[in-house]
Every structure is written in C-alpha cells, then in structure tokens.
Structure 1
Amino acid sequence: MLTYDLSKTDGAKYLKLYELIKKDITGGVIAAGEKLPSRRSFANNLGVSTVTVDNAYDQLLQEGYIYSLPKRGYFVEKINRITAPSSKLTGKAGGDKKEKLNIQGNSMFDPNPPVVYFDFSSNRPELSNFPFSVWARINRSVIADKSEELLKVSYSTGISDLRMAIARHLSSFRGMDVSPEQIVVGAGTEYLYGLIIKLLGKDKKYCLENPGYKKIRQVYDMEGIDYGFADLDDEGLSIRDLVRNKADVAHISPTHHFPTGVTTPITRRYELLHWAGAEDGRYIIEDDYDSEFRLRGTPIPTLQSIDNAEKVIYMNTFSKSLTSTIRISYMVLPPHLAAKFYEEFSFLSCTVSTFDQYTLAQFIAGGHFEKHINRMRIKYSKKRDKVLEIIEAILGEPGEGGYEIEENDSGLHFILKLNTKYSDSELEQRLLKKNIKISAVSDFYHGTKLENIGKFIFDYSNINLDKLPEALRILKKAASI
C-alpha cells in the first residue's frame, strides 16, 4: 500500500497527494501498469477523506498519468520519457549574455454579413465581464505615477514590469520556471507567429493540427512558409503524421485543442518532446490560449514546464481571459532562442502601447488578474451547468434526444454532436436562413472537407441564456432531431 504523510500539508490535501503520486510515477517508483489502491482503502490508510483521493486520482486521470478500467480500478500509464539535461535550466537567456539580457525596460470578412439572431459559436467574452472599475482606477494611477515612462518607446520584448508580472503569474498559476528575459510581448499572436518564423528561419517545415484554427494557416501563407498537416486522435497530434511530413516545427494547442476540445495526456506530451529532441532544429510551438478556464481540478501542466531540452516555445494571450480588444499576447522563448532574439531583434519596438503595458502589469501584479480569473471560472462553471440544463430541457436527454455532448472540462466551448440527416454545411445554411449561426468542426479541416461529421462548436462564453431556448427549438426543427 502506498503511504504518504499529508498531516503537515498546507492548502488542499488532494493537490499534495496528486503531486506525490505524480512524482513517484514519473520517477519510476510506481511502475507502468501497476494498480493503484482503491479509493476507500487508500483514504483509510492515509487518514483522509475519500473525496481527497477522488480529486487526486481525477487530476492524474485528466493529465493521462493513470487510466481506469471498469470495475477493476486505476492503473499507471506507460510514460515514455525524453532524454534531457539532468538539471533544470536556470531560465537565463544565454550565459555570456547575462548582462546584455538584464534590460529594463474565423471566417473571411463579409462586408454585408447577415443579421444574426443567435450565434452558438461566438467566442467573444461578455462585455459585462470586463473589470472596468479596477481597470479605470489603475489607468489613473499609471497616468499619475508613470507619466515620464509612458512617453518612452518600449523595448522590443516589452516593458520589464509587464514581463516580470507575467513570469510570476506563470510560476504561480502554470508551474513554469521562466525568467522575464525569456518573455516577448506583442500585439496579438499573429504578430508573434511572424516573429517566430523570422527567429527560426523560413527554411523550416511546419506542421499544423488538422482540424485547426485557420488564422494560423493564413499567417504562414502570408509568410511563404512550407507547412503540412497532422491529424488528431483522442490524444492530440499524431506523431506518425509529424514524421510523415518531415516537420521541423509542430504548432499545437495541447491543453484544449480548438475546435475538437481534445486535451493531450502526459504520455503523448512526452512523445512530442521526444520527437522534438530527436534532432537539432526541431521545436514545438505550444499555444495555451484558454488554459485559465479549466472548470474542474487544476490547470493541466504545460509542455514548457516539462521540457528540459529547450524545445518548446510557449504562447498565450489576454484576449480570451480579459477581452478580445486588448491585443496583448506573449511568448516564452527557450533561453538560447531568447539570446538570439536579443541579438538579432533588439532594434524593434514593442507593438503594444506603453500605456496598456503598464496598466496590465499593475493589474496582474496587484492580484486583480488572478481574482478576475477565479471569478470567471465560477461564473462560467455555473453558466455551463445552466446551458446543459436548458439543452436537456429542449432537446431531451443526451443519447435519447438525437444529440451528444463532448467535453473535457477545459476551455469555454464543447462539441454538440447531432444525429441529423443533413450534412454540416446544409444544416449551417438551414439555420442561417433563420438568422441562427453555428460553426461545424468540419469547417476547420484543412484540405478535403469532411461533410458529415455532425459535430458543432457550442461556445457558451457569450451565450444569451434568455434567447437560448428559442434558438435550440429552431435548431431542433432544422436538424429534424
């Protein structure tokens, strides 16, 4: 029987238990295929509640460290580890450049869009969620206290205050040990994609997720980049397709893939890192765009946090967590790429206004961003439950009402699978005639479009609960379910 001492644990005991079991699994103390103790016997042995064990097991299960078999229990997953340096990198962007680096400082546009009564797939946050009062107060403070700094041109990577605030946030929220010198701030992820291409060189072969976010492909088209596509299975990007494409760079969203919602488990994450580490010049771009909104358990650890070989470029944005009109994104470069960035791109100016940078820096440093995220998680969790309740009231129970719900408790959308005789595009057009907009997963496939998947994106972040029942009735009739 596994034994751990949780008597002196500060904070949630299930998190401590989860960390201890994960450490033993990754360290080989608990062997692959080994059965874990039953929840009740384990709880009795540790002197904790079964809820503590349940939550720890659930987090391990979600991350892919363990798997369950009906009526048999929980077992340890086989994890392929990558060969990596034995010690964790210090996060300094190049040893002999230490002094140098310590610097302060969806669809195509339609000019005549149809009038839409209801949009099932809109991913814009509700305007009422933005913390206007706090933001306005910080604005006034920045003007009063930073008047001289506001008139200075921001350095290419962004002001030091913001990069330091982001680094601390990533440490506390995502378990990432990074230096502010590794962080580059920019106006939107599209701009940062362009910087990555210039940084890595245009001779690289990229591989994109299929299905996937089309704007990424459009950026690479604009830059004249050679790229291919890798299909997704239940665990994320296919390693076989990466090899088939002879790719140098994999562009992925492992925490909550758009549009499928797939979360890549730890085994596949190590396989991806092993692929990247097998040859020099290979990298992984990890897009973590809505990781803050995991509605159950703790956020899934990032690829960057388990990468000891400097292979992962981490990217995130504040567009989803705050508002899409705040065009502030950032990336975390591996130390050797950060050194190269300072050497080759220091002549650039940051594309985000200094005013916005100082405001966001104080918003994060003052604890307001964390409070906002916690508040939004609670609100979205309640909203999700209400949405599912309305769906069941209008369409019937899942499986019996001609539909299924596919979700994994991450992000702000799930997949509505409809058992309908119409193709995806036919149903989209039937609904659009009723001023109802919905987007099919098949719309995001690259190349040959798969017409009859019957899976549709249901984004509830900005959904109007008052209009939802009527919209669902129209959907039910249009789909003939």
Structure 2
Amino acid sequence: MLHLTAALDPASRVPLYQQLYRSLAGEIRSGALPAGTRMPGKRSLAEALGVSVNTVDGAYQMLAAEGYLASRARSGFYVQEYPALPGRPEPPAAPAPAAAPAGPPVRFDLSTGGVDTRLFPFRTWARLQKELLYTSPQLLARGDPRGDIQLRQALAGYLEEYRGVRCTPGQIVVGAGIEYLLSLLAPLLPGPAAVEDPGYPRARQVLENSGRPCRLIPVDEGGLSVADLAASDAAVCYVTPSHQFPTGVTMPAPRRAELLGWAAAAPGRYIIEDDYDSEFRFDTRPLPSLQGMAGGDGPVIYLSTVARSLAPGIRIAYMVLPRSLLPAWQERYSLYSATVGRFEQQTLARFIQEGYFTRHLARSRMTYKARRNALAGALTEAFGPKARLSGLHTGLHLLLHLAGPVPSDQALVRAARQAGIRLAALSGYSMASPVRCPSGTLVLGYGALEDSLCPELASTLKKAISAACASSSRV
C-alpha cells in the first residue's frame, strides 16, 4: 500500500475526517503525494488507520470538492496536479518600533479630541434604540447609501433652525466620520485644495490621500487669509470659519463675504465648511453658516458631526452637497452601501425629532461653560500676568499664551508630559512653518477634564513650565 504519514488524534476536538483531510492536503501541497497517484481504497485505508470507512470517505469527498483529488468511476481517487508555489523572498526586517516617550502616567489629558462621556444621554438613547430593535425589523435590510431619509429630514430641519443651513434632505449624505465623507468628496472636486495653516492636519492628509494636492494658507486674527488664498492656484478651500482650529478665532462676516466672493470669481470653485463644534458657543450667538450665506445652490459644502455633541464613538457625520454636485455624487457612489448602521441612524433621527438633542446640547453647553470658567480662573490665578488666554468663547479648547522668554515649544510639551499632562503647542499644528505661530502658545482641550481637577492642573502646569524655563536659562 502507498505509504501515508497521516497521524490522527482521537482525543482531539477536531473530527477525525477533518484531521485526515488536513494531513492528506498537506502531503499533496508538499509534493509527497505527486499528481496521478492513485489513493488507497476507502476500506483499506480505514483498516490501516483504525478508523471508520465514513471517516475516510468524508476526507476524500472534501479533497475532491476542493480539487486535490479527482474521482474516476470504478477506479478510485487520484491526486490532481498542484503547482508548486514560487518561493517568496525574505522580507526586510521591520524597523524596531519607536520607544514610547518616557514619562509618568497621564493625569491630565488636554488633547483637543476629548469629550465628557458622562454627559452622554445613556437612558434616552438606550430606550429609543431598544424600541427600534423591537418594532422595526425592516432596519436590518440595506438602506439608502446617502443615509435613511428620516435622519436626513431631521438633520435638514435642525440645521435650518440652528445653523441657518438651507438645504433639502436630498442634499444630505450621512457617513461614518468626517474623514470618510471628505475622502469620498475629494474626487468630485477640481484642482488643488487650500487648507488653513495652522489647521487640522488630518483634513490635509485625507485630501492628499485622495489625490488632491494641498496649498497651505496662513491664518490671521480673522481666520483664513483670503488674499493669500486668491494668490494661490487652489480651486477648493477647506475652512473652519465658526471656530478656526486650532487658533479659536471666528471668521467675521466681512471676511466670510470675501471668501464667498473668491468662490464666485471663477467657475467650479468650492468651499468646504467644517462646522465641527459650533454647538458650543458660550458668550455670543453664533454667526450663520457660510452655507446659509451662500444659499442651497451656492458653492459651499457643509460638513459636521456628532462626535463633539454626543460622543466620538457615535460614528455619525453628515455633509450637505450643493445641488451642482448631486449628479456627480449619484453617478459615482449610488452603488455604495451606507457606512452607519440603520438602527443608529434611526435612533439619532428620533433623538433630534423628539427634542432630546437640543435639550442635551443645552445641558452640555452649561457644563462645558462652567468647566471653561473653572479652568480659565485656575490658570489666571496660577500664572497671573505671565500668561494670557484666548479662544474662550467657543468650542472645547482654549489657548494659553506664555509671556516673556520661554523654552522651545517642544521643550514645553516635554516638560508638561513629564508632569503627567498631555497637551500640544500651537506650532505643532502648523504644516508649513512653525514660524507662523507665536512660540510659547499651548493648546488646552478641556472636554474630558474634570472640573475639580482644574486648580491642581493649573498648579502642576505652572511648576512644569517654571522648571523648563529654569533649565533653559542654565543652558
């Protein structure tokens, strides 16, 4: 009989026929059983291995189904040709991962993406979603790639009332995050794209990954410089006019009109308005959106998300397209699937339509305003005239400007990290040259900060910066 090396383990959880199948398939792949070899009969192999005929038959049938064996009438099973796989060159050794920066555990996380997850409306959200799970089995089916119509209707009504956005539900596209929507949008747009500097590095990366080269446009006290934008060859402009990230300035109405004039000066130009945290304006009424100023048929593409207002884990963002882009969107993406689950979409739709969203925002706004006041007060008390604050009116981060000679921004960030504080310097958001950013300016996100920790944070940060200044003066 043909010599086989099959070794079967009756104690294994893997059925014997699968063990035999794996063993024989391995011998065929390795060439130990060459093509044309006639396999032993089922009964003789079963007797040799001490297993049932059904075990051997099950293994042979699996091998035949996958093309390892071929059955010939009144003759048996024969090994089929299995081409030898070409050898693969050894890949180069992967570089050693960069060592994590040394330092104590993070006690104060001041990164700008943090939110207070304790504010999430757990009970209301869970109740709405539970009701949908029990009453709406149709949501298990595939939905509209643009998002469920109920959510798009709810968003259209909310945006018109609170942000002055003028659109129909048919202009809204729902997707799993702003980055995803921006990556789909980029191929529909012309030419190079302008981005703010300092600005949101992820937007630039997404645009460039999607084939749109980026032009870096400086930001001044009125936001993006339209004069520098006009001097560039950009045909698209990505901007955060309500709360420029990360400087915190709000683009005034005259500058907004100037920006809309730039878009109207040449056919095919577009403005991408990222309205990422306009819900949290504490001291004054927010200016209407650029999209609302331009109108539903204007050149503005409006982007926003619930990452700040609800939680980053609720992966729901939305985009309002001008009517001029709808045919191109439909042609390119009509066969795509929605990237947000329909139960989550419908839960958010009801959350908005039944008034829970506006009440949640009101409570969150009060909480964050109190936290901003606590942090600003603690920083003012700790630093006194040696620092000033800006960007307090909107959003979930502020800027701390240190006076006098200070170490490099990198040294300040390192000193803070050694003290258990995670933060960034303004210059870290500059993609062209850090010279555009005043040195000694720190960006402090307070969304995830506990109010009671503000005094301790301010005191710890003051000590860390003082130690960094002392060390720098000795060098």
Q: What residue in structure 2 maps to residue 98 of structure 1? A: none
Q: TM-score, normalised by structure 1?
A: 0.73
Among candidates 449, 456, 460, match of residue 446 of structure 2: 460
Among candidates 95, 117, 129, match of residue 127 of structure 1: 117
Shift of 1:330: 0.4
1:412 aligns with 2:396: yes
1:403 aligns with 2:390: no
Shift of 1:433: 1.7
Distance 1:142 1:111 in 2: 47
Distance 2:438 2:322 in 1: 42
Among candidates 262, 282, 286, match of residue 269 of structure 2: 282
Q: What residue in structure 2 maps to residue 13 of structure 1? A: none
State the Cα deviation string for residues 107-166 of structure 1 (Å, max 9, x = none): xx9884752121233431112110000000001111122112x11112110000100000
> What is the one-letter code of the residue matched to 1:439?
A
1:137 aligns with 2:127: yes
Label 1:120 to 1:344 Cα distance change in 2 as closer, same or farther (>3 A): closer
1:331 aligns with 2:332: no
Distance 1:301 1:130 in 2: 27
Aligned 8 A contact 1:155 1:348 in 2: no
* Greater displacement, 297-306 / 383-392: 383-392
> What is the one-letter code of the residue matched to 2:359?
K
Q: What residue in structure 2 maps to residue 432 of structure 1? A: 417
State the Cα deviation string for residues 209-253 of structure 1 (Å, max 9, x = none): 000011112212322321111001111111122122211000000
Distance 2:461 2:269 in 1: 45
Shift of 1:299: 2.1
Give runs of aligned pairs for residues 249-398 of structure 1, distance below 5 A.
Answer: 249-308=236-295, 310-396=298-384
1:421 aligns with 2:411: no
* Greater displacement, 336-345 / 240-249: 336-345
Distance 1:351 1:231 in 2: 34
Aligned 8 A contact 1:124 1:323 in 2: no
Distance 2:313 2:99 in 1: 20
> What is the one-letter code of the residue matched to 1:428?
V
Distance 1:174 1:366 in 2: 19
Query: Considering only CA atoms, is the larger Rg found in Structure 1 or Structure 2?
Result: 2
State the Cα deviation string for residues 415-450 of structure 1 (Å, max 9, x = none): 111125211111111121222222111000012223
> What is the one-letter code of the residue matched to 1:393?
E
Distance 2:332 2:207 in 1: 21
Aligned 8 A contact 1:276 1:283 in 2: yes
1:197 aligns with 2:186: yes
Shift of 1:326: 0.6
1:151 aligns with 2:136: no
State the Cα deviation string for residues 68-127 of structure 1 (Å, max 9, x = none): xxxxxxxxxxxxxxxxxxxxxxxxxxxxxxxxxxxxxxxxx9884752121233431112
**Structure 2 spans left out of the alignment, 5+ residues:** 1-96, 470-475
State the Cα deviation string for residues 347-397 of structure 1 (Å, max 9, x = none): 11111111111111111111111110111111111221222222233223x
CA RMSD in angstroms comes to 1.8
Q: What residue in structure 1 maps to residue 429 of structure 2? A: 444
Q: What residue in structure 2 maps to residue 28 of structure 1? A: none
The percent identity for this pair of structures is 39
Distance 2:465 2:222 in 1: 30
Q: What residue in structure 1 maps to residue 209 of structure 2? A: 222
Aligned 8 A contact 2:240 2:274 in 1: yes
Distance 1:428 1:167 in 2: 42
**Structure 1 spans left out of the alignment, 5+ residues:** 1-108
Distance 1:357 1:328 in 2: 8
Q: TM-score, normalised by structure 2?
A: 0.74
Aligned 8 A contact 2:187 2:211 in 1: no
